Structure 1
Amino acid sequence: MTVDTSPRSTTFTYVEGDWFAGNPPLIGPTSHAMWLGSTVFDGARWFDGIAPDLDLHCQRINRSAANIGLKATMTAEEIERLALEGVKKFDGKTAIYIKPMYWAEHGQMGSIVAADPESTRFALCLFEAPMHTAKPSSLTLSPFRRPTPECAMTDAKTGSLYPNSGRMIIEARARGFDNALVRDMNGNVVETASSNVFMVKDGVVFTPAANRTFLAGITRARVMGLLREAGFEVREATLSVEDFMDADEIFQTGNYSKVVPVTRLDDVQLQEGPVTRRALELYMDWAKSSAKAAA
């Protein structure tokens, strides 16, 4: 049998003291992560010589590990240092995705379903991934819902949550949309299948209140703060599908593409509005000025 370990783009992975080019085989069929899904990850970005909020992403991966029952084996500062070391291996022309990961190799004795924290392993993977910032996106209401903390590990950025997101996107794309607007079990809008979501009505910016059913992201918090500093009224609120259908603007935020305008929600056509454009401008201005201040 031939094993294809070639990545889809230029990739470097750090594991157990060494850097490897490409996609090294790390998880075997008896690994707890492969068998029972004990994985957490985070994602930061490097582009145009900057890595906004890299420190916060490195801190969050360790919180995710603890929340899923793993043992963080690296400090946030060590992960950040390794990430910047890894960035230097690339040509600097294409944006990079920075992905620290933990997983369990074994289950606990007497209860193999539970991960053994002492078997936790760490890897840091960096790969080229072009930015799609400001590229318009379309949304449709998903028939699938976000779970509550009682039903899933929503307090961690764990890989086990993402098959649900995947089926949301597959279903949405089958109907001609890019992404899905997602509700919680009470029917309130919480995010999209892959990012946080904002709406604007009469100049006021709204985003779903963090209720532990979705990942209230680092970029989400950054954009909220920047808009408030710029004089916008920003409210976290319980929002319905009808609220979004009646919105003047809708945009998404997330680490992968930062700020993305929504120009269609089901049958409602939208324009990329001035608040959305300002949110992106504020974010990019902050990211570049922060990098200069740190230099």
Structure 2
Amino acid sequence: MGAGFKTRSQNARVKPNSSLRVWADGVISARKTSIDSFNFVLHYGAPAVWEGIRAYLKEDGTTHIWLLRPHIIRLFNSAKILNIEIPYTVDELVKACQEVVEAAGGGDLYLRPIVYATQDAESVRAQSNKINVDIYCFPLKSSDKTSLKARISSTPRGYPQYFMQAKTTANYAVLHNCKNEFEGVDELLFCDNDGYVVEASVANIFIVKQDVIFTPPQTGSILSGLTRQWVAQKAQELGLQIIERRLTRPDIFTADEMFLTGTYMEVMPITVVDGRNIGKGEPGHLTRMLKYEFTKHTRGLTR
């Protein structure tokens, strides 16, 4: 469930390198890869799949890549859904991620493996595509936000259910269409075609009512979030009741607490939706508990 190791720079007590590192075809450099404007992915939006992975500097001085193997397995599953054949094995890409973190000097980092086609866009048919894999690794600054304000978007999350199970670049095109809706808020919440609230722009949704935790079912139009799975399991270990069911707008507005989960956001409280306070308008006690448990786990805290 991830990888913990000491980088050479940490053993030597050297400050982690702050520059970008890129793994491409087995070679690590400080340069971004480039594609021309006639690339298939730029014209047709697919096939391209990606993952977002975090590395944490733990209390004992080691760097831990959180849920590394599950992330890479999900990358391969996304590729299978889009009929992409990745020219590496899971083990090879796990090792590549470890190598690029080592090259970056360890510490708090964000990894972005991306699998994409390099064929020219002469035809919409992609059977003959050459597939490339790049892994970007760069320092991740900690957010100073302790909670977020959100708005329910007017744009539905109307993708086919199977397509949402793939972490593909095409699924995020909707965010550009909704960019004006971000004004005055930090995050957008999306509904499916039936009007149920299913997901945030880059995170999964949880609400709390009378100390019971609710989250949209995996059968809905949501990505199978790894942080979502971890939080649900931890909640059960703590003796909390967690129920998967569809969420309506009234469910959101009458919740006692609300939080989002995701690799980038971790566990993030939502205190305002559509200008209305959620509960008391501050992070609730179960949200704070789960956020602490997540931090304790990823940072290896002993207290």
TM-score (norm 1): 0.87
User: 1:288: how far off?
Assistant: 4.5
Confirm or deny that 1:233 pairs with 2:241. Answer: yes
Q: Distance in 2 between matches of 1:138 and 1:52?
A: 27
Letter in 2 for 1:90: A
TM-score (norm 2): 0.85
Listed as ranges, the gaps of 5+ residues in structure 1 are 1-8
8 Å CA contact 1:97, 1:128 repeated in 2: yes
Counterpart position of 1:273: 284
Instruction: Report matched runs for 1:34-183 at 5 Å.
Output: 34-38=42-46, 39-48=48-57, 49-93=63-107, 95-106=108-119, 112-116=123-127, 119-132=130-143, 135-149=146-160, 153-168=163-178, 170-174=179-183, 176-183=184-191
Structure 2 vs 1, CA of residues 237 and 117 (structure 1 numbering), >3 Å: closer, same or farther? farther
Letter in 2 for 1:161: N
User: 1:35: how far off?
Assistant: 1.9
8 Å CA contact 2:204, 2:260 repeated in 1: yes
Q: Distance in 2 between matches of 1:118 and 1:70?
A: 9
Q: What fraction of aligned residue pairs are identical, expressed as a percent?
A: 26
Q: Distance in 2 between matches of 1:226 and 1:117?
A: 44
Structure 2 vs 1, CA of residues 133 and 224 (structure 1 numbering), >3 Å: closer, same or farther? farther
Instruction: Report matched runs for 1:249-288 at 5 Å.
Output: 249-269=257-277, 270-288=281-299
8 Å CA contact 2:259, 2:270 repeated in 1: yes
Listed as ranges, the gaps of 5+ residues in structure 2 are 1-17, 58-62
Q: Distance in 2 between matches of 1:61 and 1:107?
A: 23
Q: Distance in 2 between matches of 1:252 and 1:133?
A: 16
8 Å CA contact 2:55, 2:109 repeated in 1: yes
Q: Distance in 2 between matches of 1:277 and 1:12?
A: 34
**Secondary structure at 2:214 match in 1:** strand
Q: Distance in 2 between matches of 1:158 and 1:235?
A: 28
Q: Distance in 2 between matches of 1:62 and 1:133?
A: 33
Q: Distance in 1 between matches of 2:22 and 2:131?
A: 17
Q: How much is the aligned-residue C-alpha RMSD, in angstroms?
A: 2.2
Confirm or deny that 1:196 pairs with 2:196. Answer: no
Q: How many residues align?
A: 276
**Secondary structure at 1:138 match in 2:** strand
Structure 2 vs 1, CA of residues 272 and 213 (structure 1 numbering), >3 Å: closer, same or farther? same
